[in-house]
Amino acid sequence: MSAQAHPIAPLDALVDGEAQRFDVHGHRLAVVRLGDDVYVIGDICTHQDISLSEGEVDAETGHIECWKHGSSFSLATGEPDVFPATRPVPVYRAWVDADQVFVEIDDPEGTP
């Protein structure tokens, strides 16, 4: 397995304090900008197939809430802290380089 860096968007295209969905290399991602930091987690709630990027971001606690039943996931660890979701969403390494946001995705086949 190899990890590949994929460009997501210019930092300026992300609204501070909100989540946006991106589909990158077969992965459904929720991308959250908090100031100059960017967090990327799996977009699919682990309780049901609901898009977390449609939920509210809590910038103070660094969580995003699933709008369907209220589970709240850490942007840093992917762990839910409120039922009914009990399993974490995946967390992806993300960074900003020259005002472009990148995400690292494991590629089991090693293809670019």
For residue 6, what are its two tokens?
Answer: 């994929």
| Residue from the set 4, 27, 28, 84 that interacts with ligand FES by CB under 6 A | 84
Q: What are phi and psi of 93, to 5 degrees?
A: -75, 130
Sign of CA dihedral 11, 105, 53, 84: negative
Dist. CA 86–CA 69, nearest whole Å = 12
Least distance to ligand FES from the beta carbon of 97, Å? 32
CB 8 within 8 A of CB 20: no
* Nearest residue (CB) to ligand FES, 22 versus 73: 73
3-class secondary-structure state, position 16: strand
In 3D space, the residue among 43, 52, 89, 91 whose CA is nearest the CA of residue 70 turns out to be: 52
Q: Is residue 48 at the binding interface for ligand FES, with CB under 6 A as the rule?
A: yes
| Residue from the set 47, 79, 104, 107 that interacts with ligand FES by CB under 6 A | 47
* Nearest residue (CB) to ligand FES, 27 versus 47: 47
Least distance to ligand FES from the beta carbon of 105, Å? 23
Q: Is residue 71 at the binding interface for ligand FES, with CB under 6 A as the rule?
A: yes
Q: Where do contacts with ligand FES occur on this chain (CB under 6 A)?
A: 45, 47-48, 50, 66, 68-69, 71, 84-85
